[in-house]
Amino acid sequence: MNEQELKALEVNKSVDARGTACPGPLLEAKKAIGTIKSGDIMEVLSADEGTRVDIPKWCTKQGHEYLGTVEESGFFKIYMKKN
Amino acid sequence: MVIGLSSGSVDKLVGTGVIMSGAAADDMDVEVYVLLTAARAFIKGNEDLTDSLVEYPHLKSEFFANMEKLAVPTWLEFFEQAKEFTDVKIYICSLAGKLWGGEKKEDFIDIVDGLCGIGQYIDAAKEADIHINI
């Protein structure tokens, strides 16, 4: 998905993990995805560069769909769809 | 994943916790075998000790200051968190326990699952997909 499509997504769950360093955002994502339904969209906000790589890989390994990442000022938003 | 943890240096304990957290995020089972100096940190009452940063003692104050600044969990918090997410077992080598005055499971903090002999560690390492020695 391109940036415009990602920004237009209706998000079911937003996880603000900007206060934590690796592996905090990954664990927060794991915790939060257990609280949403299959097909729901979740975004994870992080300022940790390692997370930018880890969460997309984790999504694939866990069978969820990684939708893309949007760069914001000083942080980024990672979008995923729960399978 | 099997981890052989011999170092009781706080940075190594934190590093082990970070690796365990990554494994937990992937739903990997983890077994930690606590050997030698590492066992000291697992004795009841020792979990908050910060007197050990063996390899780089000159970096100790910088390490702890930056840990606090970045709100990094303590090593124990990492271990507890990993246990919440996946099946983590922590075994203390019986010799290592004795070195620091711990002979029974009750002598160690609650996250410890039991004591073990070196044979159990070797068998687990032989069977594991990933084996890390710290």
- Higher per-residue pLDDT: A12 or B47: A12
Q: By a Cβ cutoff of 8 Å, what residues of chain A touch chain B?
A: 19-24, 26-27, 29-31, 54, 58, 61-62
Q: What is the mean pLDDT of residues A51-75?
A: 95
Determine, for residues A23 and B21 on separate chains, whether the beta-carbon distance falls below 8 Å: yes
Q: Which among B25, B27, B70 has CB closest to A23?
A: B25
Determine, for residues A21 and B24 on separate chains, whether the beta-carbon distance falls below 8 Å: no
How many domains does one find in chain B?
1
What is the Cα–Cα distance from B72 to B66, expressed in whole angstroms?
Answer: 8
State the pLDDT confidence band at B48, using cuts at 50, 70 and 90: confident
Residue B55: pLDDT above 80? no
Question: Domain span at residue B42?
Answer: 2-133
| Residues of A carrying an active site annotation | 22
The reported pLDDT for the residue numbered B52 is 82
Q: Is B70's Cβ below 8 Å from some Cβ in A?
A: yes
The reported pLDDT for the residue numbered B49 is 85
Using CA coordinates, name the residue in chain B closest to A31.
B85
Alpha helix segments (H runs only) across B26-134: 38-41, 60-69, 75-85, 94-99, 118-127
Mean pLDDT lowest among B51-65, B101-115, B119-133: B51-65
Determine, for residues B21 and A19 on separate chains, whether the beta-carbon distance falls below 8 Å: no
Determine, for residues B18 and A26 on separate chains, whether the beta-carbon distance falls below 8 Å: no
Residue B24: pLDDT above 90? yes
Q: Where are the domains of chain A?
A: 3-81
Q: Which helix (H) or strand (E) holds A14?
A: strand A13-16
Centre a 10 Å sphere on the Cβ of residue B66 and count the other Cβ atoms it contains: 12
The two structure tokens encoding residue B16: 């082990």
Residue B22: pLDDT above 90? yes
Q: Which among B22, B27, B70 has CB closest to A23?
A: B22
Per DSSP, the three-state class of B66 is: helix
Q: What is the mean pLDDT of residues A27-50?
A: 96
Using CA coordinates, name the residue in chain A closest to B81.
A27
Residue B53: pLDDT above 80? no
Contact B4/B125 with Cβ under 8 angstroms? yes
The reported pLDDT for the residue numbered B56 is 84
CATH label of the domain that carries residue B22: 3.40.1260.10
At the second CATH level, the architecture of A3-81 is 2-Layer Sandwich (3.30)
Contact B6/B35 with Cβ under 8 angstroms? yes
